[in-house]
Amino acid sequence: GLKGKVALITGSTSGIGLATAHVLAEQGCHIVLHGLMDQDDGLSLASEFAAQYQINTFFSNADLRDANCIHEFINNAVNALGSIDILVNNAGIQHTQDVTNFPIEKWNDIIAINLSSAFHTIQKVVPLMAKKKWGRIINIASVHGLVASANKVAYCAAKHGIIGLTKVVAIECAEQGITVNAICPGWVDTPLISKQIDTIATDKSLSYEDAKYQLVTSKQPLPEMLIPREIGEFVLFLCGNAARGITGSALPMDGAWTAQ
Ligand code: NAD
């Protein structure tokens, strides 16, 4: 089982990352929690996890836009918990606007957080996994790593990019017992998409719930959002020994979005 393994999940103070942290902690993994939360709240979250699951925890609010910050974060996490066996690159942000008006700072932030941060964490963590001849790297991409939508130029570029990164690292690590995969979710009910729902609600004078339904069904045949825990359960499956042959894959979990 996964008991005693150390899992680091970026962006685990909210949404999919937080749910994944719970799923892995239930299995007895020690957990590195991370996200933009102030240090006191982060330390409370880490203590709650430690008490609830009888595991060791570590918290960091390292800003993933900064490579040095990421290196320091990984070093501190390894010093605290001993190693990293499971790496989930999950942190991400969104900004929607057409390409000509897309703010340069938003482009830079999205590429840094949604794509480059995974390069920086992977570069630090692969040698630790190689030493143990076992590791699991799971990148939370998106259907927007496989297909595009209007007004998401930076997000789609970053998500397509992380799938390329996934494939290369999978090939390089295949002989070392390390699998590297990308999960490509459709709509998942988290704070990341609330702005998009608000915009539809305002533009079309709809209730939040009706706007949500419209947003989902505009792209996804399954007419409801996934819940964050379902992504966490998929991560758990990929961490198991039965999944040792699944590597270098971009795996949709998208209610038939990309089947069209
Ligand atoms: P969320 O907004 O609930 O959580 C995002 C997390 O990333 C938070 O913990 C936040 O603190 C962290 N983060 C953001 N900017 C950061 C920064 N600069 N430095 C460090 N941490 C930072 O979002 P979510 O929906 O749970 O998204 C998680 C991942 O899933 C993202 O990569 C997202 O692109 C992907 N995804 C989401 C959906 C969806 O519909 N919600 C669909 C497909 C893919």
Cβ–Cβ < 8 Å for 90, 21: no
Place 2 in a pLDDT band, splitting at 50, 70 and 90. very high
Range of the domain at 196: 190-225
CA 215 to chain centre: 22
Residue corresponding to tokens 């505009």: 218
pLDDT digits (tens, 9 = 90+) for 228-259: 999 999 999 999 999 999 999 999 999 999 99
**Is position 260 within any domain?**
no
**Is position 141 within any domain?**
yes
Q: How far apart are CA 249 and CA 258, in angstroms?
A: 15
Q: Say what the pTM is.
A: 0.98
Nearest CA to ligand 1 atom 23: 192
**Is position 41 within any domain?**
yes
Would you state the pLDDT for residue 95?
97
Q: How far apart are CA 224 and CA 254, in angstroms?
A: 10
Place 6 in a pLDDT band, splitting at 50, 70 and 90. very high
Same domain membership, residue 101 and residue 215: no
Q: Using a 6 Å CB cutoff, which residues line ligand 1?
A: 11, 13-17, 35-36, 63-65, 90-93, 113-114, 140, 142, 185, 187-188, 190-193
Would you state the pLDDT for residue 132?
98
Would you state the pLDDT for residue 67?
98
Its sign, for the CA torsion 187, 136, 179, 69, is positive
pLDDT digits (tens, 9 = 90+) for 62-92: 999 999 999 999 999 999 999 999 999 999 9
pLDDT digits (tens, 9 = 90+) for 177-232: 999 999 999 999 999 999 999 999 999 999 999 999 999 999 999 999 999 999 99
Strands (E) located in 63-197: 86-89, 135-140, 178-185
**Is this prediction's ipTM beyond 0.90?**
yes
Q: Which tokens in the block code for residue 179?
A: 């699998």
15: CA distance to ligand 1 center in Å?
7
92: CA distance to ligand 1 center in Å?
4
pLDDT digits (tens, 9 = 90+) for 101-115: 999 999 999 999 999
CA distances from 25 to 54, 70, 86, 244, 251 (A): 9, 23, 12, 21, 23
Same domain membership, residue 90 and residue 150: yes
131: CA distance to ligand 1 center in Å?
30
Grouping H, G, I as helix, E, B as strand and the rest as coil, residue 184 is strand
CA 56 to chain centre: 21
Same domain membership, residue 126 and residue 219: no
Same domain membership, residue 198 and residue 164: no
Q: What is the mean pLDDT of the chain?
A: 98
pLDDT digits (tens, 9 = 90+) for 17-48: 999 999 999 999 999 999 999 999 999 999 99
Same domain membership, residue 154 and residue 37: yes
Task: Give catalytic residue positions.
Answer: 155
Q: Nearest 5°: CA angle at 13, between 191 and 40?
A: 125
Cβ–Cβ < 8 Å for 121, 74: yes
Would you state the pLDDT for residue 48?
98
